[in-house]
Structure 1
């Protein structure tokens, strides 16, 4: 067998796995770098993000509603806020922005002096963040509690980074716009 045919055979055998790896890396990179701005975030990030002090971090966040980021961890974060404030039962925290979440959001916005459109944008996020009270700074994170009728924990890296929140399971998950794990 000639060295040229051996090279072709090796290349053919490597081509499919290499293409699969390239595709997987490309998709992973696309998911990781897809700016949330393209789908409603003002920060251009795929997560609820902050830096410096905790105050005001959520005032530049994107939109979450029945049409935008409908099924996401950010929706789960918002539902957890609605639950903590008594607007949604804990059993409705599923990360899907449906009719119940929309109706609860309208009530929440109305009761907090906001435009009651059922869409969670920067003004609604900023108003909700006012209920976060810093509790501790350790392990490289700032920990806080959302202080509503019920409490739940949030955290963010001390200097800058992606917000996480305690899901109903008690596990911290990232407040991501583009996927749902809650």
Structure 2
């Protein structure tokens, strides 16, 4: 009888550790899957999947599928700096507040911009907001390529696309920057 009890206890102990290893393996696999699936979405344009504000072909619809910019998404980025230039050109953000950080001033200016241009005024730059701003991309030299954001506040700024379709702009210090979602080099 003692042998049978000892054998059952050893079997139960062995089953316990097999279950622990199995659960640990499943948890590790689930964690890895979540991390791998979440990384690309958080590291790039939410709708296009690209890491840059980009376009192709005619530029009239270039900004229809851009990522989300907000106080919690792509908060510190060159894409945010590009958006702040839009806010400045349309008279909603002072020049000195263009820094590539989507803080409370940028959120408030975005709400004012959204109210002026219609749609939901939530302070988040999503597909609709970017798309409306894209209507002010212009070809001022007539060569068929985008070269200017023509703001309604009497201001404009130079933009262009690289051969790969990635948008560039000049920051406050006059440096040409790529409008990326994953880093901030603009000043």
Report how many residues are paired.
146
User: Segments of 4+ in structure 1 off by > 2 A?
Assistant: 34-40, 135-138
Partner deviation per Cα, 1:40-71 (whole Å, 9 max, x = no partner): 52111100111101110100011000000000
Aligned to 1:98: 103
Q: Which has the higher helix share?
A: 2
Tell me which of 79, 98, 117 is aligned to 2:84: 79
Instruction: Name the TM-score, length of structure 1 as normaliser.
Output: 0.74
The answer to whether the 8 A contact 1:35-1:46 is kept is no
Partner of residue 69 from structure 2, selected from 64, 68, 77: 64
Shift of 1:87: 0.4
The structure whose residues are more often strand, as a share, is 1
Greater Rg over alpha carbons, structure: 2
What is the aligned partner in structure 2 of residue 161 from structure 1? 165
Are 1:178 and 2:182 an aligned pair?
A: yes
Gaps of 5+ in 2: 1-38
Task: Provide the residue aligned with 1:16 in structure 2.
Answer: none
Change (3 A) 1:153 1:36: farther
Which residue does the alignment assign to 1:5? none
Encode CA deviations 1:93-116: one digit per residue, 9 max, x unaligned: 010000000000001001101100
Contact 1:36 1:43 in 2 (8 A): no
Contact 1:146–1:154 under 8 Å retained in 2: yes
Question: How many angstroms apart in 2 are the aligned matches of 1:175 and 1:153?
Answer: 13
Q: Is the 8 A contact 2:78 2:183 kept in 1?
A: yes
After superposition, what is the alpha-carbon deviation per residue over 1:135-165, rounded to whole angstroms, capped at 9, x for unaligned? 3477xx934111112110000136x511111
Cα distance in 2 for residues equivalent to 1:157 and 1:39: 18
- Check the 8 A contact 1:74/1:175 in 2, yes or no: yes
Secondary structure at the counterpart of residue 152 of structure 1: strand
1:145 match: 148
Structure 1 segments unaligned to the other structure (5+ residues): 1-33
